[in-house]
Amino acid sequence: RTGANCDVTYFSIKCSGNYLLQDSLKAYTVEHIHGTFNSNGQAVNAEHYSAFGSLNPIRLILGGSYWTLTGRDYGYQTAWAVYDTLQFQADSSVIEFTHPTARLYTQEPLHFNNVLFSAVEQTSKVETFRGTGSFNRLEFRKSGIIAGQYVIDSLIFAPGKSYQLDATKQQEIREYFQVIGNNCLSIELSSTVPGQKSKVLMNGGTIKADFIQMRDQLAQGSIGFYAGVHSTDIGGSNTGWIFDSPEDYVDEGILGDDVVLCKNAQVDLDARTYSPGETFRWSTGSADPMISVNLPGIYWVDVSYTDNCRLRDSITVLESADFVANLPADTVLCEGDTLLLDAGLSLLGLTY
């Protein structure tokens, strides 16, 4: 136990055995040299986590913990640095890096659950020295560099930022790749080595892309790699990407699809694009980046940026009575026949 409101300067595990965290932990650094540390779903806030056990067995279990790492990149010492083999169990955890230059480094490949770089300025980096690491979800709200090879379920880039993918490795994205800017904030996507293509592989899933300034990218896989009609193939240096939008493309704007208001509930509307200096003006009069509404209607927002560019978007919040699935009439199927059922809905938060 750490005790309530207790700050620890150096939290170091140097002995064999099992160590179970039973309170939240706030420390300057978490140093892991030996044994098993289980954060047990507790919140952990530190500048650094480092693991270097040499020949000692080291194991880290996160459970449902939310780790907030605030450290900057000092080279050898960074926010997350694993220099030896770590038995790592990410479970349903979230690891948030808050410093503008935060870096996640592992010498051996690890499997992460949800990793977020939440600062909106400067550049962060994920790096694996050898092997293929993985993320269930990796999100950058700032510019970023991906060094090494990864399998990523969902990869999310923010408008107005620059991203580099390792020129010597392949990034496999299995479910969702969001690399969409807007007419105020385009995204720069390039390779770590100019003139040498970095590779993205997708054999399924969804790409949400547009307003990209793209250079030295190679797309491979069984899906259509649509970069968006507003994206630019710089110098004709990209292969496999289609610089157009698919036929069924719908511009969701800042606020996304319309949403249904369930009984006795409220809906959170979020207009953030994670850009420095953005300001907001909602139809409700609010100047906050997010608002909560509990009445049906049409809501709009104006987002202004430091270069005097402005975006405006609206969203319809529907009453539950207006939520109707457009299924076809009853149909008789003969043996061997098939029928495609489409509910015909494009709404936020739906599951079927």
Reported as a single tens digit per residue, the pLDDT across 239-276 is: 999 999 988 777 778 888 778 777 667 889 999 988 88
Distance of CA 5 to the CA centre of its chain: 31
Q: What percent of the chain clears pLDDT 90, i.e. is strictly above it?
A: 68
pLDDT of the residue at 5: 54
Integer Cα distance of 208 and 253 in angstroms: 12
Question: Distance of CA 331 to CAs 209, 306, 312, 340, 345, Å?
Answer: 38, 57, 43, 11, 21
Return the residue matching tokens 């939008």: 245
Give the residue among 228, 122, 235, 119 at the shortest CA–CA distance from 183: 228
Based on its alpha-carbon atoms, the radius of gyration of the chain, rounded to whole angstroms, reads: 23
What pLDDT sits at residue 266? 85
Question: In this predicted model, what pLDDT tens digit does every residue of 132-188 receive, in sequence order?
Answer: 999 999 999 999 999 999 999 999 999 999 999 999 999 999 999 999 999 899 999
pLDDT > 70: percent of the chain: 91
Tell me the per-residue pLDDT of 11-39, one tens digit each, with 9 for 90 and over.
899 888 999 999 899 999 999 999 999 99
Residues of 319-332 as b/e, b for ≥16 C-beta within 10 angstroms? eeeeeeeeeeeeee
* pLDDT category of residue 122 using cuts at 50, 70 and 90: very high
Asked if residues 217 and 189 have their Cβ atoms less than 8 Å apart, the reply is yes
| E strands in 86-221 | 87-89, 94-97, 103-106, 111-117, 123-140, 143-156, 162-165, 170-180, 187-191, 198-201, 206-210, 212-214, 217-220
Q: What is the pLDDT of residue 348?
A: 47
Q: According to the model, what pLDDT value does residue 2 have?
A: 56
pLDDT at residue 107, rounded to an integer: 92
pLDDT one-digit tens code per residue, 269-298: 999 988 888 999 999 999 999 999 988 899
Residue 352 has pLDDT above 70, yes or no: no
What mean pLDDT is predicted for residues 70-85? 87
Mean pLDDT throughout 308-326?
Answer: 79
148: tokens are 């090494």
Lookup result for tokens 């240096």 = 237
Task: Please say whether the beta carbons of 225 and 244 come within 8 A.
Answer: no
Q: Which amino acid is at 30?
A: V
What does the pLDDT read at residue 349?
A: 47
Structure tokens given for 166 = 């390792």
Look at residue 310 in the predicted model and tell me its pLDDT.
92
Please report the pLDDT score of residue 300 as a whole number.
Answer: 94
CA distance 78 to 27: 15
